[in-house]
Chain A
Amino acid sequence: MLYAILCYHDEAVVGGWSKDEDDAVMAKLAVVHGKLAQQGRLGPVARLLPTTAATTLRKDEPSVVLDGPFAETKEQLLGFYVVEAENLDGALEIAQDLGRANPGGAYEIRPIGVFHGAFQP
């Protein structure tokens, strides 16, 4: 079975870490990542940019692009994609494509800051 482990924290706190504090946490995580990777049990790992960098596509008819993260609480997180695009417009185009195939709900498009994994763009 594959599991997704979704990371939650207060971004004001994490965003307030100094570079040294941040580096220290990342170094400790890298040890755990290394262990898992060696066992062949680590898939892609992504660190997302802050929610202020997010854009949301409401997949209603017609679809609406909104600045900011997905803020509703009545829908649940059901899946995610990692895609490569030139810029936000490119990413939104992909999202629109996906949305036409599966309308309803929303996609939150969030740039990825750090990415490790078997992704070959």
Chain B
Amino acid sequence: MTDVAWIDAALTSARPQALGALLRYFRNLDTAEEAFQNACLRALKTWPQNGPPRDAAAWLIMVGRNVAIDDIRRGAKQQPLPEDDHAISDLDDAESELAERLDGSHYRDDILRLLFICCHPQLPATQQIALALRIVSGLTVKQIARAFLVSDAAMEQRITRAKAAVAKANVPFETPGAPERSERLAAVAAMLYLIFNEGYSASGESIDLRAPLCEEAIRLGRLLLKLFPAEPEIMGLAALMLLQYARSAARFDANGALVLLDDQDRTLWNGKMIAEGLALIDKAMRHRRTGAYQIQAAIAALHARAAKPEDTDWAQIELLYGSLEILQPSPVITLNRSVAVSKVRGPEAALEMIAPLAAKLSNYFHFFGVQGAYLMQLGRNDEARESFNRAIALANTSAEADHIRMHLDRLMLESKPPNSSRKRKTGETLSAPSPLAGEGRGGG
């Protein structure tokens, strides 16, 4: 790695800790960001000559704080002083001492607070994500705008508004108590999963632009796990993201069309991420404190463990969706469970199960996609076609619509005279056209 690339990586990795501590000192996000920015500029100037400091975050906190305090003093005296670098000269001695004082528990609350201010309940999800990517991850407005497919100006405005809302929110800076800490942790976990899904739900040309969102969510998830090593839901969240993202190379074909779990080339799955995800869910289960992320990760783990689709333990998946339904009752989760039911007990049972959901999910693409697939498996082709047409009308992305069209095409071929060579063999089952059963969105 070149100097600049190394420094860049070090600054990115130190950012949450350094900015979190500066926010605690200055209690003002703009001042903290400016202080961090100034510290980074000095790092770029001095690190290539002096070599990297032993503890990059401690260095940045110290320098950022000194520079900002100097600035404030100067502002108070109303007389600008010449630029001086003296603040850095005695840093080497002070650095180790500072690092000692900034113990792990302090860091933990600083980083959690930094993430938590982005989860302000009045901010819509997209603003929470944009703010977190800007503040915590340090992505530029331009990078974030690209991922969200909006103009730089629109994103700038969105982030400015979000920051104003956060400034008014008055998040307390005292060390949080245990219940408050766990509340913050849950909100932050939910936001990380939002960031992940923002990347994971991308399709078509935006896949490459949005994949970094998944990677960033995983990076922050690992960071959270280091800060809270004994929280099973954080293990579950990290496992869930790793197990889902491990499949990313197999999820779309060369034309950008969605490839269902059953049809994916499993050799393209990322074995390293799967191993890490499985190890984490294994660890989480030992705590015997169940939670939605753990259950969803356990479902994803059952898919990851199956070398071939037919090896999938659908009975266990059905049970897990059942537990998830109890924890978070939602028609979407019932719909997901029906996919497992269709594998275990057949499409008729699954169809019966989703019938009561029709009213609640009348605007939900996946409901009609799944319903159409069950009907098709039962040979009720006219009804299947009707469901698929409704699904296409409700599709959120062109990839979703294309996928349903593929099923319609198959139905068309089937309705040709029986001597048609493309006729589906009896006994061959079609998979449900949905991203369900471990393909995310389990939370509903």
Contacts and interface: CB of A to CB of B under 8 A. Distances in A.
A87 B222 contact: no
B181 interface: no
B276 interface: yes
B279 A67 contact: no
B66 interface: no
Interface of B: 9, 13, 219, 222, 225-226, 229-230, 235, 238, 270, 272, 275-276, 279-280, 282-283, 286
Contact of B276 (A13, A50, A55): A50
A16 B6 CA distance: 12
A52 B13 contact: no
A89 B284 CA distance: 11
Contacts of B235: 67
Given A13-B9, A16-B9, A88-B283, A113 B276 contact: yes
B283 A55 contact: yes
14 contacts: A10-B13, A15-B219, A22-B272, A49-B275, A52-B226, A65-B286, A66-B230, A67-B235, A68-B226, A87-B282, A88-B279, A111-B279, A113-B272, A114-B272
A50 B275 contact: no
Contact of B286 (A10, A22, A89, A111): A89
A55 B229 CA distance: 9
A18 to B, nearest CB: 9
A52 B280 CA distance: 8
B286 A53 contact: no
Which 9 A-B residue pairings sit nearest by Cβ, starting from the closest?
A68-B229, A53-B279, A111-B279, A67-B230, A67-B229, A52-B225, A88-B282, A12-B13, A113-B275
A68 B222 contact: no
A16 B283 contact: no
A13 B270 CA distance: 19
A19 B272 CA distance: 10
Contact of A16 (B219, B275, B279): B219
Interface of A: 10, 12-13, 15-16, 19, 22, 49-53, 55, 65-68, 87-89, 111, 113-114
Contacts of B222: 15, 50, 52
Contacts, number: 52
A12 B78 CA distance: 43
Contacts of A13: 9, 13
B229 A53 contact: no
A59 B276 CA distance: 26
Given A15-B222, A67-B230, A68-B230, A53 B280 contact: yes
Contacts of A66: 229-230
Nearest to A13: B9
A7 to B, nearest CB: 16
Contacts of A65: 286
Given A12-B13, A13-B9, A113-B272, A52 B282 contact: no
B308 to A, nearest CB: 21
Contacts of A19: 270
Contact of B275 (A67, A89, A111): A111
Contacts of B219: 12, 15-16
B283 A49 contact: no
Contacts of B283: 53, 55, 67, 88
Contacts of B238: 52
Contacts of A50: 222, 276
Given A13-B9, A13-B13, A15-B222, A52 B272 contact: no
A13 B312 CA distance: 35
A114 B270 CA distance: 13
A16 B219 CA distance: 8
A10 to B, nearest CB: 8
A107 to B, nearest CB: 15
B137 to A, nearest CB: 12
